[in-house]
Amino acid sequence: DAGVIQSPRHEVTEMGQEVTLRCKPISGHNSLFWYRQTMMRGLELLIYFNNNVPIDDSGMPEDRFSAKMPNASFSTLKIQPSEPRDSAVYFCASSLGPGIHSNQPQHFGDGTRLSIL
């Protein structure tokens, strides 16, 4: 079984540039989560989707960040314009969502290591 697939694995870009991170959740999972991890702040939930609908985006730091999930097998996290303080590892995770599967844990992708110069 393929796990959560993220791309790219590494991204280095200059500040001001647009950055797009991509995620393919595990087939059949209907909840998808975007996290950011830094040494200072640990693992932070940015946004999560259930059945492709954004449910809680309260963790999105500011308007420069946006996320979409156009279908059940694909999501993007976009930063425009990027700033050096956005440098972090961004993880995507998926799980079986609410209902009878509401106790299901999250499965993480390998992450995207983002460096903004």
User: Which parts of this chain interact with other proteins (CB under 8 A)?
Assistant: 31, 33, 35, 42-43, 45, 48, 50, 55-56, 91, 95, 97-99, 102-103, 105-111
User: Quick check: bond before 25 cis, omega within 30?
Assistant: no
Residue 85 or residue 101: which is nearer to other proteins going by CB? 101
CB of 112 to other proteins, least distance (A): 11
Which residue carries 């799980």 as its tokens? 95
CB of 16 to other proteins, least distance (A): 28
Three-state SS sequence of 9-44: CEEEECCCCCEEEEEECCCCCCEEEEEEEECCCEEE
Residue 12 or residue 43: which is nearer to other proteins going by CB? 43
Residue 33 or residue 65: which is nearer to other proteins going by CB? 33
CB of 38 to other proteins, least distance (A): 11
CB of 23 to other proteins, least distance (A): 12
Cβ 95 vs Cβ 29: under 8 Å = yes
- Residue whose C-alpha is closest to residue 60's, from 45, 46, 74: 46
